[in-house]
Amino acid sequence: MFIDLQDQGCHNINWVSPSHQVPQLVRALAVAARRGLTIPIVYNTNAYDAVPTLELLDGIVDVWMPDLKYAEPEVGARFSGVPDYPRRARAALAEMYRQVGDDFDIGPGGALRRGLLVRILVLPEDLAAVARSLDWMADRLSPGVAVSLLAQYRPAHRAAQTTSFPELARPITGGEWHAAVTALERIMDGDHHHVQGTLA
């Protein structure tokens, strides 16, 4: 499948939420590499990953693309059932940064070939605590880490159908999006970062 995707002109092989299949994926990758696979491997994750697993992928994964969902344990506990999310995600991001740093390798066609891109989904009432996550990245990793702010939160499933999560029962406002963008612009050097996402 990897070789077929490459033959179709894909820019990379994107492993989405792959932590439970890492051994199988690496074995498949070894076979594909012997058959001529050369396009980058992207590790697309919610960042709730075990650091020892990530360490084993050093030199295998080319592009790390983690989320940074929450900065506060109580928010992770309430909305995702994982009070240790900030601690685990930050440890995972630190390992990803150790492997690739904050430099981007961009191919001739503009496709990313190596690097770290952290995605932060802006949530209503600043539940993601965007500024806190940005502060942590700038202080503990580098102000040069690329960040993609995401504006597309829409309530669905339990968030839209129950009264258990009233904070999540609406899309973000223009003011909430502006506050997140302002936090990024204030905390990080605009020469090294880009902001993705728009709010219609």
Examine the pLDDT at 141 and tell me if it is beyond 60. Answer: yes
Q: Is 8 inside a domain boundary?
A: no
Examine the pLDDT at 94 and tell me if it is beyond 60. Answer: yes
- Structure confidence at residue 186 as a pLDDT band (50, 70, 90): confident
Q: Is 3 inside a domain boundary?
A: no
Examine the pLDDT at 39 and tell me if it is beyond 50. Answer: yes
Q: Is 2 inside a domain boundary?
A: no
Rounded average pLDDT over 126-155: 94
- Structure confidence at residue 188 as a pLDDT band (50, 70, 90): low
Q: Is 161 inside a domain boundary?
A: yes
CATH number, domain of 122, equals: 3.20.20.70
Q: Is 172 inside a domain boundary?
A: yes
Q: Is 200 inside a domain boundary?
A: no
Provide the number of structural domains found in the chain.
1
Domain of residue 117 covers: 40-187
Examine the pLDDT at 108 and tell me if it is beyond 90. Answer: no
Give the dihedral sign, CA 185/190/196/200: positive
**In the chain, % of residues over pLDDT 90:** 80
Q: Is 1 inside a domain boundary?
A: no
Residue 57: CA count within 13 A, CB half-sphere: 29
Examine the pLDDT at 199 and tell me if it is beyond 70. Answer: no
Q: Is 28 inside a domain boundary?
A: no
At residue 148, the 3 state secondary structure works out as: strand
